[in-house]
Amino acid sequence: MWHVLNRVREFSVISLIRRAALFAALWWVLTEGSFAAWGVGLVSVILALAVSLILLPPGPSRFSLTGLASFLGFFLVQSVKGGVQVAFMALRPRLDLRPVVLDIPMRLPEGGARVFLANTLNLLPGTLSAGLEGKYLRMHVLDERSPVEAELREVEMRIARMLSLSLEAL
């Protein structure tokens, strides 16, 4: 744990304040703004801060708020479109589906961005992330005719923009 604390010293105190403020705000929301529970809240915020430093040590962050707004807008539109598509599929008496499992190469760098991509694609109708192996994402798709790889590339690009990451060549 001491190596984590030494790394914390290398980075700005501002990042620690941001995390503490985030956890304090979360506690405030959970307690519906009650000040009566702040004794427990202070301990909870400190513990959450310590755990977050161990699990996600501070590092240089280049998070883009405009990228986040773009990603959230895209995700909302895709979710609504997917919901409508699934509703129409449920109303059809005979579904003409061709399920398939695909291994699609990813261009995001290794780590959390790839996991975020896989989890995001799980939330879009008709797709299920079945595994990450190296640079490949295994996807179960309801219909092989759907443009899954193009959709993956779009989500991948938006995640890269949101996290200020460069995409690797295929």
Question: So where are the chain's domains?
Answer: 2-55, 65-163
Q: What is residue 125's predicted lDDT score, i.e. its pLDDT?
A: 80
pTM equals 0.67
Q: Which of 1-5, 50-54, 139-143 has the lowest mean pLDDT?
A: 1-5
Using one digit for the tens of pLDDT, what is the confidence trace for 73-83?
999 998 888 88
Cβ distance 138 to 100 under 8 Å? no
Q: Which of 59-63, 123-127, 160-164 has the lowest mean pLDDT?
A: 59-63
- Greater confidence, 168 or 56? 168
Instruction: Please name which of 136, 74, 62 lies closest in space to residue 105, comparing C-alpha atoms.
Output: 136
Q: What is residue 61's predicted lDDT score, i.e. its pLDDT?
A: 63
Burial class (CB in 10 A: 0-12, 13-18, 19+), 162: buried
Mean pLDDT of 50-74: 82
